Amino acid sequence: MELNPLATLDSVQPANLDSGPVVVLNLLKFKTAASIHPYLDYIRKVSAVCSDSGIELLYAGALKEQIQGEIGDWDIVLLARYPSRRACYEMFRSEKYQQFHPLAEQALERRVLWPSEPVMPYKTQTVDFQGGEWLALLNAV
């Protein structure tokens, strides 16, 4: 499976890239348990260097039991918000992003990137989570 979004962006890009904020669902399957370390390095670097894209990591969680449906076996769900599809697509195409993509390829067996737009009004608020495995790993470096 091709992991670089450049492989499919042109074929899926909609005509309107400025329809408002977008949240991208990331379903992640790691090659091994130790693969989390290069992936965290990837997240850290992309978040810092590509901050001008407006990327905001909303949530990352370990997937547990699957209650219903057939979607396959995944390790982590990550939600990232961008101000627009344009900002998201431009980030994926940027040299700044592409320089760190090999870290994702080193870590991931496969992933799904699936943009969504709100269909109901929503309110955001800042929630400070205490603890968490990734937070401890990110702070360890």
pLDDT digits (tens, 9 = 90+) for 60-101: 888 998 889 988 899 999 999 999 999 999 999 999 999 999
CA atoms within 13 A on the CB side of 115: 21
Alpha-helical regions (H) of 1-141: 9-12, 36-49, 85-93, 95-98, 101-107, 133-140
What residues does each domain of the chain span?
A: 18-118
Beta strand 108-116 with 22-30: parallel, antiparallel or unpaired? antiparallel
How far apart CA 80 and CA 73 sit, in angstroms, is 20
Low-confidence spans in the chain with pLDDT less than 70: 1, 121-141
Residue 94 has which token pair? Answer: 């940027």
- What's the pLDDT score for residue 79? 93
CATH tag, 18-118: 3.30.70.100
State how far Cα 88 lies from the chain centre.
10
How far apart CA 123 and CA 102 sit, in angstroms, is 35
Task: Check: CB of residue 39 under 8 Å from CB of residue 103.
Answer: yes
How far apart CA 57 and CA 140 sit, in angstroms, is 19
pTM surpassing 0.75?
A: yes
- What's the pLDDT score for residue 118? 85
